[in-house]
Each structure stands twice: as structure tokens, then as C-alpha cells.
Structure 1
Amino acid sequence: MFYLSKFLIQMKIILNNNSLYKALRPFNDVGFVPTMGSIHEGHISLIERSNRTCKKTIVSIFVNPKQFNNKKDFKNYPTNIKKDIKILKKTKKVDFLYIPKFKDIYNNNKKSNIKIANKDKILCAKYRKGHFEGVLDVMGRLTNLVNPKKIFMGKKDYQQYFLIKNYLKNKCKASIIPCKTIRNKSKIALSSRNNHLDLNGIKKASFLSKNLIKFKRNLANRKKIKQNLKIQMKYFEKFLKIKIEYLELRSIKNLKISNTVKGSRLFVAYYIDNIRLIDNF
């Protein structure tokens, strides 16, 4: 009955913090899905998970300039608020949509003192200076504003989930809920950045994803994992004519380099026509 009643709710759009406080004040079981827009099925799966486990679900759309280490990347980030609103309304599973302005999030001039520990300057943190400092800062601010019971995040950016979970665990009561990566029929992980790929780029991303899934499955039976990763990386770069930033097997518990497939994930970051994509398997 609770689940069916959701279909009767119309999504309320919230444009400032005062409206946010008033809307959420009566509720103590709120599920939060933070996004930067360009809503796709991956986001919808997070919303559905929240909808099943929380009484109210709020989605935020905020393209955070402070987490972009490349100004051009920020400028080119795909945004279409009208389209996003239409998609979210159609789900009939979102109670509140929060679309804050920059001043709503950064309502003071205090500089962030967040620093990523040296042990965490791996994977994307190694190549995107300042990115995760910006991510942690905005997630701390958003969480304080929304005060959710649960935050739902996809595993596609596992390092982001890992760092946010550790950063927020002593700062708020919210539980961080990891949700499975949603892929299309071509096995490409859904991402707003996929919108920049042409047909040839999509074929390359699909080939890489499909073969890395197989590669990880077979890696369990191989020795010298580090050597095998280097060989595979060079093969993809030469065959697909792409640039791979990293291809590493790491523990899901602490993200340390792993020599066993069990309890580990295979992380990759690569460029197709200057478009940076990430994934893990």
C-alpha cells in the first residue's frame, strides 16, 4: 500500500534553501539522490531504490564547478534542466527535486580545508587534482542541507562512493547506500559523458567494456596479475587507438592494489577522442 501511494504524489520543485527547509522539516525518513543532471536510467535505478526503502525521496541537480579540474570540461558538461524535470516527473517516484543556485550551496566565503590523504591519491585522484576535494566539499554541504536518512550512490564511480562514505561517516547520521552500475545493451556503463561519443566512440567503449568483463573473469586463473594488466592495457591502446590512464585491480575494502580477484574490482580510466570515461568491474 505504501509503495502504491507513491504514484499519487506530484513532484515538488525546490529552488532555494528556505523552501527546502520548509518542505523537509516534517520528515525524518528521506532518501537522497544527488546528481549533476543529465538524468539517465542509472539515476532512475537509484531513485527506485530510495523509493522502496524511504518514505520520501529527494533528487538534487547541481553542477558543481569546484569539482572540475578542467574549466573546459565544466563548460561542456551536458545540461538540460527542462528535459531532466520531464524525466523525473514521469517516474512518479520523486517527492522533491532540489535545484539550488551556487549561492545556496556556497553561502559563505570560507575556503574548504578538505585535503585528500596521500594514500588516497590513487586512480582518478592521481590524475584529477582537486576533483575529490570539490566532491567531498559539496557532498558535505548538500548533506547538511538535506539531512537525509540515506544517500544512494552508484558503484560506477566506486572511488567517489568510497571517499564520500569515509568522509561523511563521522559527520552525519546518513547511511551511504551503494547501488549496482547500470549498463546499456552494449555493456557500457551509463554516464552523461557518453552523450559526447560518436558512433565509432560508442563501439570502442562497448568493445572495451565487454572485453574487460571477460578479462577479469579469466584473471582469477592467471598468475602475475600486474604483468597481465600491463599487457592488456597496451593491447587496448594499440587496437582501439585510445589512451588509458590506468587499469588496476584494487581491493573493495581499502582500494589498495590487489593480487587476488576475489574481493577486488578492476578499475579503468580512458580517453576516446578526448572524452574521459571511467568504469570498474
Structure 2
Amino acid sequence: MLVFAKIKSVQEKIKSLKKGTTIGFVPTMGALHKGHLSLIERAKKENDIVVVSVFVNPTQFDKQEDLINYPKTIDKDLSLLKGVFCDIVFAPSANEIYANNITSQAFNFDGLEHQMEGKFREGHFNGVGTIVKRLFEIVKPKKAYFGEKDFQQLQIIRNMVKNHKMPVKIVGCDIYREEDGLAMSSRNARLTESHRDAAPFIYKTLKEAKMKFGTKRALEVIDWVENEFKKQPLLELEYFDIADEETLQTIKNKNPNQKCRAFIAVFAGEIRLIDNISL
């Protein structure tokens, strides 16, 4: 496994690869867990070489304290990456990526950025678009792998790739869950014991909402979820939405030809957790 911190060095290595070598890319912010490793394992099966970036991107944090508190575990990350036979790791500094100008590019994601997360995290998706576009330009992968836990982010990246005519296929991968159903996230490690015990209620509620969606109207399901969380003293619901998978627009009436997904954001103490489920 080769580790690079400089853009020029990683590009030279990629350029030296045999012509026709396929590159799979997994961008991460470190604090790796089994969910990340599952993306890498899939990329290994579908490509000749796998590149993983480890970079805590400052432009996608709407709150400075979240950036400061984000876990940085590079030694553990490198050990985990070696264990899944990652080929190349790109772990740059913020100055290396942004050249002393740490600002986001402004994107038009055709309205996808204004739904759900966009209502609560100002500028977040411009930050995501900026770093992902930059990393794609550096690595030039054939395929890039993202988990469906951040489904809105996945759709936004697909939109950016299409609008900017970038030659990379975006592969969405199933949400990787703990045995009790909690979606794996780097943030889970920061949960208190009591909040960790309460957190599986999120996925349990999503599964019940999916069942109810078979016979009830979307607004009835939303009301039911909101009432369920009022009974949970350790969990505070930020939003629950049922939306079209393509447009991410809230649906009012069910359409049999429409793919829908339920999205949720919950505070467990200070820690914000998101999840979703296909309906």
C-alpha cells in the first residue's frame, strides 16, 4: 500500500500505471469503520487498482465545532486500509487541496441541494461538490463508490458528474449497519452509552414507517413518526421526510410509478445522526 500526501506524487503514480488499468476510488474523511471497508471491498472486486482518500474537508462543515470535533485517526485508518489491501492512499493537507484559499465553489445542483439536509446545513453541499470534483480531477477514477446512508449527497454527486460531464461512474452501495440496525457512522463513536442504547430506535422506526407506507398516505406516516419520537426522551427528531428518489422533493400523493425513500435526521444528545430507507 502506497501513501501520498502531495497531489503531484499521487498523480505521477497513477500516470505510471499500465494503460487500461481501471481505477476505483473511495473518498473518505477518515475515522474509518466497516461501512467504509465494505465500499473498498466492492471497489476491489470491480477495478484493478483502488485509491482511497483520507481528508477531513473543512468547506463542508457548517459549524466550526463539528470540524474541530471530527475524529482524526490516521494511524488506525492506515492500518484498516492495509488490512483490506487498499492499493493507494491519498491523505493531503487542507493547504495542498485548497492552496491556502479554503473556500467552496458555488454549484447548481438543480434544486437537490435545497431539500432535507440543505434546509439545515447551509453551504454544506457546495463544500461536498467542491472537494469531490477536485478529488475526481486529481485521481481520474473510472468508478467512485459512495454509501447510500448519505443518499442526498449521492444524488447530488451524480448530478454534479452529469452537469460537469465528468467521465466517472458513481456507484451507490447499501447502507452498512450495526447488528442492532444503527447505520454505521464515524459519529457513532461519540455517542454516550445511553444515547447509543437509544439510537437503534431510528432504524426500527424507519422499518415500521415503510410498512405503514403500504397502506397509509405519506402525511399520515410522517405524523406517526413525529409522534413516535415525542415519546423518546433521549432522541430529538430534526426532520422526517418522504421524498422522490430522483428529485428529492417531498411527496404528497403516492404514485405507483414513483420510487420513494424516507429520510430522517435525529439528535442523540449533541450528535446528529441521519438514515434513510427505500419505500
TM-score (norm 1): 0.90
Shift of 1:70: 0.3
Aligned partner of residue 156 in structure 1, secondary structure: helix
Deviation at 1:239, TM superposition (A): 2.6
User: Is the counterpart of residue 65 in structure 1 residue 65 in structure 2?
Assistant: no
> Does 1:105 find its partner at 2:97?
yes
Alignment of 1:1-281 (within 5 A): 11-27=1-17, 28-92=21-85, 94-107=86-99, 109=101, 112-116=104-108, 119-120=111-112, 121-169=114-162, 170-222=164-216, 224-258=217-251, 259-260=253-254, 263-281=259-277
Aligned match of 1:4 = none
Q: Please state how far the C-alpha of 1:118 moved relative to its aligned partner.
A: 7.6
1:116 and 1:132 in contact (8 A); partners too: no
Structure 1, unpaired ranges of 5+: 1-10
Shift of 1:15: 1.3
Q: Shift of residue 79 of structure 1?
A: 1.1
Q: What one-letter code is carried by the residue in structure 1 that aligns with 2:211?
A: R
The size of the alignment, in residue pairs, is 269
**Would the alpha carbon gap of residues 58 and 117 (structure 1) be closer, same or farther in structure 2, given more than 3 Å must change?**
closer
Aligned partner of 1:6 in structure 2 is: none
Deviations 1:83-141 (A, max 9, x none): 1111111112x100110111221136495441455833110011000111101011111
Matched residues in 2 for 1:215 and 1:240: separation? 20
Residue number in structure 2 paired with 1:3: none
1:204–1:240 CA contact under 8 A, matched in 2: no
For residues 205 and 116 of structure 1, do their structure 2 counterparts lie closer, same or farther at Cα, with a shift above 3 Å needed?
farther
What is the alpha-carbon distance in structure 1 between the residues aligned to residue 235 and residue 107 of structure 2?
32
How many angstroms does 1:30 deviate by? 0.5
**Could you give the per-residue CA deviations for residues 171-211 of structure 1, whole angstroms, max 9, x where no partner exists?**
41001010000001010000000011122111211122123
Deviation at 1:238, TM superposition (A): 2.8
Q: How far apart, in 2, do the equivalents of 1:108 and 1:197 lie?
A: 34
CA–CA separation in structure 1 for the residues paired with 2:224 and 2:234:
15
In structure 2, do the counterparts of structure 1 residues 153 and 217 end up closer, same or farther at CA, with 3 Å as the change threshold?
same
- The residue type equivalent to 1:21 in the other structure is Q
CA distance in 2 between counterparts of 1:112 and 1:70 reads 15
TM-score scaled to structure 2, two decimals? 0.91
SS at match of 1:157: helix
User: Structure 1 residue 241: deviation in Å?
Assistant: 4.0
Partner amino acid, structure 2, of 1:89: K
Deviations 1:53-78 (A, max 9, x none): 11100000000111100000100001
* Unmatched 5+ stretches in structure 2: none
Residue 239 of structure 1 aligns to a residue whose secondary structure is coil
Distance 1:111 1:83, change over 3 A: closer
Check whether the contact 2:238–2:265 (CA below 8 A) recurs between aligned residues: yes
**Letter matched to residue 20 of structure 1:** V
